[in-house]
Amino acid sequence: MSLGQSLSIALVGLAGHVVNVEVDIADGLPGYTLLGLPDTALIESRDRVRSALVNSGEIWPNKKVIVSLSPAWMHKSGSGFDLPIAIALMVASGVIPSVQSSEIVYLGELALDGRIRSVRGVLPSLIAAYKNGIRIAVVPLANMAEAALMSEMSVIPMEDIKTLLHWLRTGERAQIQELAIEENFEDSSFDFSDVAGQQLGRFAAEVSAVGGHHLLLIGPPGTGKTMIAQRLPGILPPLSREESLEVTALHSIAGGLSIRSPLSTCAPFISPHHTATRVAMVGGGSHHIRPGACSLAHRGVLFIDEAPECGVGVLDSLRQPLESGSITITRSVGSVAYPAQFLLILAANPCPCGMFSGRGRNCTCSSHQVRRYLSKLSGPLMDRIDLKVEVEPLGRVQLMQSELGTSSAIIRKRVISARTMASQRFAHDGWKLNSQIPSRALRTLYQPERKAMSFLHSELDQERISARGLHKIMRIAWSIADLAQHPRPTLEDTERAFSLREGVGM
């Protein structure tokens, strides 16, 4: 009897667990048994591993082969266990030494010709391996850029299993050009200087970026709602290393690194179509629970155009992650929690035909149709939207101006300066953004100036705002004050916050 072992990682959400892959080769009828709650893709690993080894010049044992993935109680999914199974099989066959394979974590799917294909979730897997004391990892060459972010580990990219087995036998391998890890700030093509006019919309986007306030843009088609939303990530501060690793890990699990660089420090921008389902918005799946759009927008912007056209309950499914900053998905295979701290930007037409505005455009909708159309955005959801801005159509003079507006780089500097001011103010608190200030702290430590509070109390007494609306306006006022470098929100700051909060009649 021969026994071989290797190590791999099983992901449950963003959390990784070390899996001990054991292979036993014993006398008996030739066969292959896989234990440890595998899914369909993992059960099919037998034929992939066999063909990959045989086509790489290795001998498949004509005996009874038992493969065990422990811990046995945990569900295992995906094709990333192909490589560790092949390594454990070679150890059991006596082809490679067992000492090295017990200190290395292996990740990769095998092609029939022996090539090692890329897999999802490499970065969170390496983070889990490092936390469990493993310092060496073998990954597919296609995942090299993502794996290079774990500079604390010795990551060895391999193109095929033949080269890997040669390295395990002799310690020799071809030199692979190392990737230079540099900060990559993307989305330079989307600049706020391209947006003509729309001073109120631009200012609302800047306030939104400073305090993390959710934004609703309402206006006829072609007024620049989508342009403003697309340029918002470019004025957000660059992601820190920890934040970048977290965002890259989420996109790695979802398989979205083909459109986003693993080394990017730009806030993500996710814009699902309005026909997206609730599962696509919040995440899910039957066998493998994947993150949805709200988690992929973590630390960035979730933009939903034509918001009233979304299916029933789709937008309301975002209410819980908007409050908690995370989403927990429960299925028969277990529960998975993903982070979901995103900036929600909604865009909507003012009516079904889109032509309703204060300038008397040719709108064919009745008042009942207008109310019914906007009522598709539920009251509880709208209560969580801090800023509501009407985007008016542009005139000929504004469109023909040759002078460009303020660039995203200049706005980003103002946003960073305002956030720095807020972080200094919250140095001893448990939050970082103005939108996160608790109601109790607003009533005790973070009240605006006396005249500003008198204005808010007057509006509250006249029942123009609710208690929650009062707190929302105070938080927005702090963001406006930080932009103006005011030590405390003034009456003017508070009045502007009031107009941004209550600016659209719903």
* DSSP one-letter string for 199-249: HHHHHHHHHHHHHT--EEEE--TTSSHHHHHHHSGGGSPPPPHHHHHHHHH
Q: Residue 185 pLDDT more than 60? A: no
Centre a 10 Å sphere on the Cβ of residue 94 and count the other Cβ atoms it contains. Answer: 11
Per-residue buried b or exposed e for 313-334, using 16+ beta carbons within 10 Å of the residue's own CB: ebbebbeebbeeeebebeeebe
Domain membership of residue 177 (yes or no) is no
User: Among 26-35, 193-202, 413-422, 438-447, which is the least confidently predicted range?
Assistant: 193-202
Q: Which of 351, 373, 372, 347 is nearest to 362 (CA)?
A: 351
Domain end call among 137, 170, 203: 170
Centre a 10 Å sphere on the Cβ of residue 142 and count the other Cβ atoms it contains. Answer: 16
Which pLDDT value is given to residue 504? 46
pLDDT band per the 50, 70, 90 thresholds, residue 359: low
Length in residues, the chain: 506
CATH number for the domain that contains residue 89: 3.30.230.10
Domain membership of residue 175 (yes or no) is no
Question: Are 496 and 382 within one domain?
Answer: no
Which pLDDT value is given to residue 370? 85
Question: Are 133 and 93 within one domain?
Answer: yes
- What is the identity of the amino acid at 309? E
The torsion angle over the Cα atoms of residues 460, 464, 467 and 470, rounded to 10 degrees, is -80
Which pLDDT value is given to residue 258? 67
Which letter does DSSP use for residue 160 in this model? B
Say how far apart CA 302 and CA 310 lie, in whole Å.
14
* DSSP one-letter string for 47-116: HHHHHHHHHTT----SSEEEEEEESTTS-B-SSTTHHHHHHHHHHHTTSS-HHHHTTEEE--EEPTTSBE
Question: Are 238 and 364 within one domain?
Answer: yes
Give per-residue pLDDT as tens, 232-249.
999 999 999 899 999 999
Which two tokens mark 396?
A: 């000929």
Say how far apart CA 432 and CA 113 lie, in whole Å.
52
Which pLDDT value is given to residue 182? 52
Question: Are 298 and 201 within one domain?
Answer: yes
pLDDT band per the 50, 70, 90 thresholds, residue 178: low
Give the percent of the chain with pLDDT over 90: 60
Which pLDDT value is given to residue 505? 40
Give per-residue pLDDT as tens, 441-460.
998 899 999 999 999 999 99
* Rounded mean pLDDT, 327-338: 85
Question: Are 134 and 67 within one domain?
Answer: yes
CATH number for the domain that contains residue 220: 3.40.50.300
- What is the identity of the amino acid at 163? T
Q: Residue 418 pLDDT more than 90? A: yes
Number of domains in the chain: 3
Say how far apart CA 237 and CA 255 lie, in whole Å.
25
Domain membership of residue 66 (yes or no) is yes
Q: Residue 66 pLDDT more than 70? A: yes
Give per-residue pLDDT as tens, 127-146.
999 999 999 999 999 999 88
- What are φ and ψ of residue 225, in 5° steps? -65, -50
Domain of 444? Answer: 437-506
Say how far apart CA 320 and CA 312 lie, in whole Å.
16
* Rounded mean pLDDT, 180-187: 54
* Rounded mean pLDDT, 39-55: 92
Domain membership of residue 178 (yes or no) is no
